[in-house]
Structure 1
Amino acid sequence: MDKGINLAEKLSLFSEYWSPRTVARLNDYKVMVAKVQNEFVWHKHDETDDFFLVLKGRLTIRLRDRNVVLGPGELFVVPRGVEHQPFAEEETHILLIEPMGTPNTGDSTTAVPEQFI
């Protein structure tokens, strides 16, 4: 790679919600951007933590015992094994980092296939 990655440009290339796009790889991790709105499914990842960084908008990470509300520039890491449900009232742009092969729903049969842009 000979130039930086413009995240806003990458986000402008698609409109689907809850369908992360891989923009880079870092060792055995994928760096992804996604547009989200409304609620995602309740899920957990038994083998890995779940990293969320808000780029634009507002994201609520619903946990069984509380909600974590994030604005632009804020991040939250859901510990492995903790059930959570991301939710956004309005279109929100996020950056995700997770190990390659990690299904976004925690279950490979219901996960969105990886897309690289």
Structure 2
Amino acid sequence: MTTRENTPTPVRENTPIDLGEALASFDALWSPRIVTRVNDYDVRVAKVEGDHVWHVHDDTDEFFLVVDGELTIALREPAGERDVVLPRGSVFTVPRGTWHKPRSPKGAAILLLEPTGTPTVGDRHDEVPDHVDATTGHALG
């Protein structure tokens, strides 16, 4: 395992990562695990259920891939609010500067692509409930 000087989270490099095994290694909701890095981006997996918080990333887009289940992302756009429903296998990118709120009433497993160090609740957010782990990702395993 190696570490990057500016981020203390160990990441396995040059080793295949089975996403099913990675997701089975933890139970915490809304608490992403970093499975690898691509350049200056974290590839994170998370288990989600219920509501996250309304938040915005001022300087970066946020990429979602639904590995299992279904995820809905509410968006606040100039034309009003809308929901984007993502079934298993779907991808969606929330553009930087867009307020959004992911939710999954029945639960889902997701993969996220975000710049290393990006907080899960963005740069601005509603009050963070106790069940939301507002970090920049945890080491896998």
Give the shorter-chain TM-score range: over 0.9
- Mapped pair 1:33 → 2:56: no
- Mapped pair 1:115 → 2:138: yes
Alignment match of 1:58 (pick from 64, 70, 76): 70
| CA distance in 2 between partners of 1:68 and 1:94 (Å) | 15
Greater share of strand: 2
* One-letter amino acid matched to 1:114: G
How many residues get paired? Answer: 117
**Residue of structure 1 in register with 2:108 after alignment:** 92
Quick check: which has more Rg, 1 or 2?
2
| CA distance in 1 between partners of 2:118 and 2:45 (Å) | 15
Q: TM-score scaled by structure 1?
A: 0.93
| CA distance in 2 between partners of 1:93 and 1:71 (Å) | 11
Q: TM-score scaled by structure 2?
A: 0.78
Unpaired runs of 5+ residues, structure 1, are none
Q: Percent identical across equivalent pairs? A: 51
Q: Is 2:61–2:94's contact at 8 Å kept on the other side of the alignment?
A: yes
Structure 1 runs of 4+ off > 6 angstroms? none
Tell me the alpha carbon deviations over residues 39-97 of structure 1, each in whole angstroms, 9 at most, x when there is no partner.
00000000100111000000000012210000111011000000000000112000000
1:17-32 equivalences under 5 Å are: 17-32=29-44
